[in-house]
Amino acid sequence: MKRSLEPELMEDAGQVVAYAQADFDKPNNAFVHRLKTFVDEPVFNGKALDLGCGPGDISRRFAIAFPFCKIDAVDGSKAMIDYATSATDPALQPRLSYIHGRLPDTELPEPNYGIIFSNSLLHHLPNPLGLWKVIKQYSAPGTRIIVMDLLRPGSKKMAKTLVEMYANDEPKILQQDFYNSLLAAFSLEEIDSQLTHAKLPLAVEQISDRHVFLTGIAN
């Protein structure tokens, strides 16, 4: 099945609220747990970069998991950034900076970051090389890189099955978003090709029937 593009940005207020209030607790917790295991530095006190932060849930979980770090969190949707800002506990606000900007053209405040992570951004991008370009640009030797995203199923029928399995209790708008995202996601082979083109030696691991997890250390 060929890739079908979906809208790059979530700007509709109803769509943003539905996404932000959906039950992503299990996959988001799993992402942060895997991230912590890979970083293996519980007292990390540097600067981290969250690419495609959406409503900010993972940014906030990261800030709690690494209480001495600071985070720049970027998203192209102003509605998402506004929601993330309003949903952030005042205690976390001094360490969390939300930035409205469309990658790869947004200039970020730091020349490089100790940790760069991204969850569910890749499939939104018309040109996926933009993500890998930003990661390379803002990495330095030793930067930990962690990316998780959806994998495209083999058919529309399988995509519908995955929606029924994992989003059957969610609002219809979210079910449709999930279906569109599955069709817009990449295959393992396509991701390998992107990394080769970008000269990013990341390890690629399929961790579920719909997720891929990538890790690496910049050199």
Domain ranges of the chain: 13-217
Residues in a beta bridge with 174: none
Residue pLDDT tens, the chain, 219 long: 899 987 656 666 666 666 656 657 788 888 999 999 999 877 899 999 999 999 999 999 999 999 999 999 999 999 899 999 999 999 999 999 999 999 999 999 999 999 999 999 999 999 999 999 999 999 999 999 999 999 999 999 999 999 999 989 888 888 988 999 999 999 999 999 999 999 999 999 999 999 999 999 999
**Residue 89, φ and ψ in degrees, nearest 5:** -60, 135
User: What is the C-alpha separation between 87 and 55, in angstroms, rounded?
Assistant: 8
Cα–Cα distances in Å, from 128 out to 103, 109, 116, 155, 185? 10, 23, 16, 21, 10
The fold adopted by the segment(s) 13-217 is Rossmann fold (3.40.50)
**Amino acid 169: pLDDT:** 86
**Amino acid 75: pLDDT:** 95
Residues across the chain = 219
User: What is the C-alpha separation between 44 and 107, in angstroms, rounded?
Assistant: 24
